[in-house]
Amino acid sequence: MDPREVLTSVEKKPRLDIGVKRSEEQAVASTSTATTKQKPANGEKRSKKAPKKRKQKRTIPEPYSHDDVLWRDVRDLLGVEVADGIIEEGKEWNSPFQHGEELEVEVSAISSTGDGLAVAPFPKPPWVVIVPFTLPGEVARVKIHQSHRLHSVSSLLEIKTPNPTLRDDSRVKCRYFGVCGGCQYQQLSYDTQLDLKRNVIAKAYRNFSGLPESSLPTIGTTVPSPLQYGYRTKITPHFREPPKKAQKPEGSAKPDWLKIGFNVNDTSQVLDIEECPIATPVLNEAYGPIREKIVSDISTYKRGATLLLRESLPIIGDGNNGDINPETTICVTDHKGTVREKVGDKVFEYPANSFFQNNNSVLVPLTSYVRDAIFAADGISDKPRPTHLVDAYCGSGLFAISLSDNFEKVVGIELAADSIRSAAHNATLNGCQDKCSFLSGDAANIFSVVKDPRDYPRDKTVLIIDPPRKGTDENFIGQMMKFGCEVVVYVSCNVHTQARDIGMILGKETKDGRKYGVESLRGFDLFPQTAHVESVAILRLQ
């Protein structure tokens, strides 16, 4: 069954007291963090009593950003024709709500950003209210705190009628859930989370690829993360600078103004957080003493700071120290330190402040899936077996090195100088330095390096693209089409820019007039309990 059907067409369910009790607690937290009555966070100017009518910023969101994705969902929920009609009349900024207004709404859908979406109740004009931490079918009391184009953002005061089919609050493992902006889905079953993520991919391709549904394969079920809590190997809690009139803290007690943690949902206020259940146990153990040290040293900080906690295998001597006990891990906090991690039988070292995937438990399933998909046609079609691998946006060499056993020659390219140094070092660490080379520079430069078909025969070459959230660009895609290798794997942490790029790729032809088709498309859950999804598309020349 299409997960959307489960999640958007929910019959009314009887009110359940258990849901009400939790939401009362949550209401205290949500109201206390989202209204102007609350003391401002450290370093922020105290706002005077909020005016009833706030000047509304009329900003159109950056394409493919979080706000743009939300906007598409708002437009879909109102109905594209209705929304476009209001835009034509120039009334799309006329919010029917006052700042601070409280009302009851019925949530009818869940957005790709993980928020509940409700249509403003009659007699309000067509308008959407965004209600965080709620599910389709739930009736909630909310407080409006911002208005944008055809929608207003609210904070949740109380869930009056929970959706008992989807919600089970006993699943929630974090005491900050419902206030912290980190997780959206702890109240859901893990299967529902995976279904929702599949639906996000479907919507992204509908909204951003420009491709007819018939040109895409059925989107596969989302591959689960082996760990659903305790998986994050990196966290970056932060705190703000002490307020000017801050008293020197007495003894070891943490002053009230000092909040060390993550942002309150949808705000820039810091929520004081003592533990994070999605982070690994090693990070949580290290975090308590780190917090205590900050409290005792706080008078030495003139500014705020972002902490870094990253799980690592111990590195002894030059790092080439043979067998590593995978059970023993440490927490690296030095931004300039080195982190060591094992993925399957490969070892990776990288600078603590550089990019590496944050959920180690799912990296073997992810890299094995990519390998199996690349060789899926082997022995079935008359095409030659791939022998050469080009890893664009290679970071510290995760894909290049993990898959190196399956190829004769591998090349990676990466913009960040320290990551590319690590990739070369990792090739040596794993004994594949003779077949792997790594180049520093913009990803598009790789095509001038692999252009000689004697070095990289097109029919035996695979290209992996794993760009940052903004996706790749026209220059890269143009050169990739001229290169025209047999298989392309596009891995992305932002399925919306991936959909845009794949739409572009499918609209172009290689030099010899061939086109790519999408052979498979599915999500990987690198971020359980959150609305994020990693999307993997396999493209093959037709």
Q: How far is the CB of 399 from ligand SAM (least distance, A)?
A: 6
Q: How far is the CB of 467 from ligand SAM (least distance, A)?
A: 6
Using the rule CB under 6 A, give the single segment among 74-82, 174-182, 302-310, 352-360 that binds ligand SAM.
Answer: 352-360
Strand order in the sheet with 409-414: 220-223, 516-524, 534-541, 487-492, 461-465, 388-392, 409-414, 436-440
394 binds ligand SAM (CB under 6 A): yes
Q: Which amino acid is at 144?
A: I
Q: Rounded CA gap, 255 and 240, in Å?
A: 13
Draw the binding track, 355-374, toward ligand SAM (x: CB under 6 A; -: no contact): xxx-----------------
Using the rule CB under 6 A, give the single segment among 14-22, 28-36, 42-50, 465-473 that binds ligand SAM.
Answer: 465-473
179 binds ligand SAM (CB under 6 A): no
386 binds ligand SAM (CB under 6 A): no
Q: Pick the binder of ligand SAM from 219, 286, 443, 531 (CB under 6 A).
A: 443
Residue 536, strand partner residues: 491, 522
Q: Which amino acid is at 460?
A: K
Q: How many CB atoms lie within 10 A of CB 5?
A: 10
Query: Which residue, chain included where needed, has tokens 């820019």?
Result: 497
> Rounded to a whole number, what is the distance in angstroms from the first to the last CA of the chain?
30
Q: How far is the CB of 413 from ligand SAM (least distance, A)?
A: 6
Q: Rounded CA gap, 126 and 350, in Å?
A: 51
Q: How far is the CB of 410 from ligand SAM (least distance, A)?
A: 13
Using the rule CB under 6 A, give the single segment among 130-138, 299-307, 336-344, 463-471 that binds ligand SAM.
Answer: 463-471
442 binds ligand SAM (CB under 6 A): yes
Q: Which two tokens stand for residue 491?
A: 């891995």
Exposure class string for 349-384: b at 16+ Cβ within 10 A, else e = bbbbbbbbbbbbbbbbebbebbbebbeebeeeeeee
Q: Pick the binder of ligand SAM from 414, 486, 501, 534 (CB under 6 A).
A: 414
User: Is 493 known to be catalytic?
Assistant: yes
Q: Which two tokens stand for residue 19?
A: 């849901």
154/404 with CB nearer ligand SAM: 404
Q: How far is the CB of 395 from ligand SAM (least distance, A)?
A: 3
109 binds ligand SAM (CB under 6 A): no
Q: How far is the CB of 397 from ligand SAM (least distance, A)?
A: 8
Q: Rounded CA gap, 319 and 316, in Å?
A: 5
Count of residues near ligand SAM by CB under 6 A: 20
Using the rule CB under 6 A, give the single segment among 10-18, 38-46, 201-209, 461-469 that binds ligand SAM.
Answer: 461-469
List, as own/partner pairs, every contact residues 316-321 make where C-beta atoms lie below 8 angstroms and the sequence separation is at least 24, other chains included.
319/349, 319/429, 320/429
419 binds ligand SAM (CB under 6 A): yes
Q: Which amino acid is at 445?
A: N
Strand order in the sheet with 234-235: 234-235, 309-312, 330-332
Q: Which residues bind ligand SAM (CB under 6 A)?
A: 355-357, 393-396, 398-399, 413-416, 419, 442-443, 466-468, 493
